[in-house]
């Protein structure tokens, strides 16, 4: 998005029918200045808890610096990095992120380049999650005790309903060592 002659990170969220979601940012859009001459978002990720992470770069004095920006589900800058923004040179003169993905453990991986414009090397950066792996902790739960279970047979536990999670979020439950 162009703002005052400069490009800025622009994120919008739409409803299922394609209209802008008024519950996000200002009428469905958020424009963020990263403080550079130009700021360009090139990839976006929606975390399971609703936060959006935009990946791109900021240009200042002709030098590109890779950047991530994380927004709350309603479009405010999150507590990720400094005021929702992470900038990193990736140890090179120029750097940029083109995409961001979420690992199963909740860590973010950003992909892009580092090095001189036009001849840079592929680069990856991984960021530790600032939340619990899926952004939420379930309410305490336990499995019902199996009575008269055969010690030499594989048994299936009783069904457990896990509450305290965002609607529609599925979290795997792993039983280790039979306990």
Residue 123's pLDDT is 87
DSSP 140-167: P--PPPPSS--TTS--PPPP----SS-T
CA-to-CA distance for 120 and 107, rounded, in angstroms?
25
Residue 132's pLDDT is 43
Sheet with 52-60, edge to edge strand ranges: 38-46, 52-60, 63-71, 85-88
Contacts of 156 (CB under 8 A, 6+ apart): none
| Residue 136 DSSP SS3 | coil
Residue 149's pLDDT is 74
Contacts of 169 (CB under 8 A, 6+ apart): 48, 49, 134, 136
pLDDT tens, residue order, the chain (179 aa): 666 668 899 999 999 999 999 999 999 999 999 988 999 999 999 988 888 999 999 999 888 899 999 999 999 998 888 877 888 877 677 889 999 998 877 788 999 988 876 667 888 888 875 544 444 556 777 777 777 777 777 776 666 666 666 555 555 555 544 54
Distance of CA 106 to the CA centre of its chain: 8
> Is the pTM higher than 0.75?
no
Contacts of 83 (CB under 8 A, 6+ apart): 77
Residue 39's pLDDT is 93
Residue 106's pLDDT is 78
Contacts of 125 (CB under 8 A, 6+ apart): 66, 88, 90, 97, 109, 110
Residue 35 CB coordination number (10 Å): 10
Residue 151's pLDDT is 74
Torsion angle of C-alpha atoms 106, 107, 108, 109, degrees rounded to 10: -130
Residue 134's pLDDT is 45
Residue 130's pLDDT is 52
């Amino acid at each position: 998005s162009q703002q005052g002659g400069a490009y800025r990170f622009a994120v919008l969220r739409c409803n299922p029918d394609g209209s802008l979601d008024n519950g996000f940012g200002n009428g469905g859009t958020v424009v963020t200045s990263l403080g550079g001459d130009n700021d360009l978002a090139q990839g976006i990720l929606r975390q399971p808890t609703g936060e959006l992470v935009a990946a791109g770069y900021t240009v200042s004095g002709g030098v590109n610096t890779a950047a991530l920006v994380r927004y709350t589900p309603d479009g405010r800058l999150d507590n990720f990095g400094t005021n929702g923004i992470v900038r990193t040179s990736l140890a090179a003169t120029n750097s940029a992120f083109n995409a961001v993905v979420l690992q199963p453990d909740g860590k973010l991986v950003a992909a892009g380049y580092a090095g001189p414009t036009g001849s840079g090397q592929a680069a990856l950066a991984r960021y530790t999650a600032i939340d619990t792996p899926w952004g939420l902790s379930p309410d305490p739960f336990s499995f019902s005790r199996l009575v008269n279970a055969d010690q030499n047979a594989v048994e299936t536990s009783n069904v457990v309903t896990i509450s305290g999670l965002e609607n529609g979020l599925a979290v795997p439950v792993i039983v280790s060592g039979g306990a």
